[in-house]
Each structure stands twice: as structure tokens, then as C-alpha cells.
């Protein structure tokens, strides 16, 4: 019953399901636990009025099956106004490779005593309730997120659009669409590059620059449909 007491228990176990789950055998309980955690919204939904959670993860590597998330960073924005934030280290049994320590500045000792993914991920999923999630190079972050969810016994289906894909469409001609390049293009600074919290803060500003440009005409969820990661 790994998820029974998580912060998103009601979403995973509708009313009346608990009694059935308690009386089921282990095989049936496993089936009950593997539930979808999902969110859908109409294509006409205005991005300006919809909560957007800009998020980033730092990981032990690039393989969603073999590697693990070691840091979450996210901010919740509505109409360009930051309403809330989420950040957490994640303890893992995987020893951090030297290149990850060098890139992120996160060390093994910084992860000692931190909560593991079974504690942090439910809190993150509670944080994104009712929100569109946004990430830079979202295929990677969503891949890590979904793999972590699968290991905890459920499937994640959530609207997420990729700011790399969006920037390629609305800002043609840039040499590349790395976060650093977009940061420089908009005259911004990132004092904590390759750290989840620093990256989401600057990404939020980049996104508002794009959405606030009247010439871009990106107003609704449908307007970013070609940037969505499924």
C-alpha cells in the first residue's frame, strides 16, 4: 500500500475504492495502486488565466530507467504573477558521477538525510494540481518524472509544453535554443545555472517575455498544442 497515505490519495483512490482494496488479494491491490494521475483542460483555456507550473529536475544522469532525480524546482505562476514555489533535494542510493557534481554543484553530502522520491514526488504532484506544467527540453524532465511515477506504482498523464519547442517556433534565427542562449537573448541573468530553482526562475521570465509579446499570438492552450509533450 505504498501510496495509500500520500497527499494525493483521494485522486488515486476514489470514494468506495478503499474497502475493495482492503479486501482484495495482493495481485488485485497492485492493480488498484497502478492508477492514472492526470489532468486535462480545453484547448480554449487562456494561458494567462491558467496556473502554469514551470519546473526543472536535476538528475544523476540522462537515462530515465537507470538514473534518478536528485532535485526538484518549480514555481507556480498565474498571469505572470508568482503564487508559490516548490523545491527539494531527493536522496538516492546512486552515487553522483563527478561530472554531475561539477555541472550542478550538488554533492553526495548535500543529499544525505534528504527525503527520498516516494516522499517528494507525491508532494510535487500535489503542487501541480490544476496546473499546466512547463519545462525546457520537457521530453527529458517528463521522461524522468514518468519513470519515477511508474516505479512508485502509477502512471502520469499531464499536460506539459516544452519551451524549447515554443522558442524554436516564435524566435527563428537564434543559433540554438539552450536556456543560456534564451537568457542572453532577453537580457536576463541566471545566478544558479544548472540548479533546478535557478533555472525555473529564469525560465519563468523567458516564458513571460514570449507570452507578453503581442506579435507572437500565443494565448490559449491550443496555441501551444504543437509544443506539448505527451
Catalytic residue among 5, 38, 48, 194: 194
How many CB atoms lie under 10 A from the CB of residue 67?
Answer: 17
194 is catalytic: yes
Residue where the block lists cell 491491490: 29
Catalytic residues: 194
Amino acid at each position: 500500500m505504498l501510496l495509500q497515505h500520500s497527499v494525493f490519495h483521494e485522486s488515486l483512490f476514489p470514494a468506495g475504492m478503499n474497502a475493495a482494496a482492503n479486501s482484495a488479494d495482493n495481485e488485485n491491490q497492485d492493480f488498484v495502486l497502478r492508477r492514472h494521475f492526470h489532468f486535462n483542460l480545453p484547448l480554449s483555456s487562456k494561458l494567462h488565466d491558467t496556473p502554469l507550473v514551470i519546473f526543472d529536475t536535476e538528475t544523476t544522469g540522462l537515462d530515465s530507467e537507470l538514473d534518478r532525480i536528485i532535485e526538484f524546482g518549480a514555481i507556480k505562476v498565474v498571469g505572470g504573477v508568482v503564487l508559490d514555489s516548490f523545491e527539494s533535494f531527493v536522496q538516492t542510493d546512486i552515487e553522483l558521477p563527478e561530472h554531475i557534481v561539477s555541472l550542478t554543484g550538488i554533492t553526495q553530502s548535500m543529499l544525505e538525510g534528504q527525503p527520498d522520491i516516494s516522499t517528494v514526488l507525491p508532494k510535487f504532484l500535489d503542487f501541480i494540481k490544476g496546473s499546466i506544467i512547463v519545462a525546457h527540453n520537457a521530453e527529458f524532465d517528463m521522461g524522468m518524472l514518468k519513470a519515477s511515477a511508474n516505479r512508485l506504482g502509477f502512471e502520469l498523464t499531464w499536460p506539459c509544453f516544452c519551451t524549447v519547442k515554443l522558442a524554436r517556433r516564435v524566435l527563428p534565427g537564434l543559433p540554438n535554443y539552450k536556456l543560456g542562449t534564451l537568457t542572453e537573448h532577453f537580457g536576463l541573468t541566471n545566478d544558479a545555472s544548472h540548479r533546478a530553482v535557478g533555472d525555473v526562475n529564469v525560465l519563468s521570465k523567458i516564458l513571460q517575455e514570449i507570452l507578453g509579446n503581442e506579435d507572437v499570438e500565443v494565448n490559449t492552450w491550443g496555441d501551444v498544442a504543437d509544443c506539448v509533450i505527451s
